[in-house]
Amino acid sequence: MMTLKAFVPLSMLLSSVSVTDAQQPRPAQVPAAVQEHLSRLVPSPPPARATGEQPPAFYDSATLYQYMDGAADAFQNYDVRALFHQDLKAGPVDLTVDIFDMGALENAFGMYAAERSPRYDFVAIGAEGYRNEGILNFFQDRYYVKLAGFGEGADAVLQQFATAISERVGGNKGFPALLRKLPDEHREARTEQYLRKDPLGHPFLSPAYQAVYGLDGAQSTLMVSVAASAAEAASRLTALEGHFRRTGQWGPAQEFGPGAARGSNSFEGSLVAATAGQYVVIVLNPSSGSAVFFKDAVARLR
């Protein structure tokens, strides 16, 4: 009896191979010099007599999702350059060390600030750090360091690793310089942020800094959009005006100073804005008595 054999066209075989190849994740393209530099940020031998369970793994921006899945998007928005990742064991403690090279101090601060809460237990490590149950995170220079530990004595091990890595990073332990220009009075602690993309949902305001202030018994947010020049700042303000004229109202706010304008619509609420050199200064949810505050913020940036 003749047996019929299945016939698979060559085109289908080639298609199957190409699909399989397409599904293979591409390897990270982290230069050897960058890998070496990131590796040197962890002492050898590591603190607390820790040992690596596997050699360090490295990821670039495009491959970060292989480690972080959906959380990678936020780091990509802050232009992450590379990640050093290693799992270690120190006695009964299982430890994870993640060192993100964010490329610039502003980006490292921005990503750190996006994940912190003013309610955390802050520690004097790096420019600023905080601990929560089983974690210790800090930023310093262009690096955002995230440590996680589980097991008896984990807090002490995390402290040793954070201190050692901070010492090896060295250099700048400060915050982005522009934050020093913002008013200190009435600022709510640890509400500062750096928004690299789409402040208020508007790409033309990128990048921007912001902080929350308690004014007249309510919260207002001061935002500073950073342009390359005074002409570009004026163009950004014009774009903001166009948006509010299309979606709500826009008009002069003379009590807030020369050139100040007020905008409002049903979904963004109200704001006051003006230019100050290369900056667009914006107060969201301005209070009735915030004109003095606004004028002071504008003057500090001129």
Question: How far, in Å, CA of 21 to CA of 34, rounded?
Answer: 28
pLDDT tens for each residue of 4-52: 444 445 545 444 444 445 556 778 889 999 999 999 999 999 999 999 9
Question: How far, in Å, CA of 140 to CA of 104, rounded?
Answer: 10
What type of residue sits at position 97?
Answer: V
Q: Could you give the count of Cα atoms lying within 13 Å of 95 in the half-sphere of its Cβ?
A: 29
The answer to whether the pTM exceeds 0.85 is: yes
Task: Please state, for a pLDDT cut of 90, what percent of the chain lies above it.
Answer: 85
**What is the DSSP annotation of 162-224?**
HHHHHHHH-S--S--GGGGGS--TTBPTT--EEE-S-GGG-GGG-SEEEEEEEETTEEEEEEE
The candidate with the shortest Cα–Cα distance to 215, out of 292, 301, 267, 270, is 292
Domain residues of the chain, as ranges?
29-169, 177-301
Domains 29-169 and 177-301 share a fold: yes
pLDDT grade, residue 171 (50/70/90)?
Answer: confident
CATH architecture, range 177-301: 3-Layer(aba) Sandwich (3.40)
Question: How far, in Å, CA of 182 to CA of 224, rounded?
Answer: 9
CB 88 within 8 A of CB 95: yes
CATH superfamily of 29-169: PknH-like extracellular domain (3.40.1000.70)
The conformational region for residue 218 under phi > 0 = left, psi -120 to 50 = alpha, else beta, is: beta
pLDDT tens for each residue of 96-130: 999 999 999 999 999 999 999 998 999 999 999 99
Q: Which two tokens stand for residue 16?
A: 């199957």
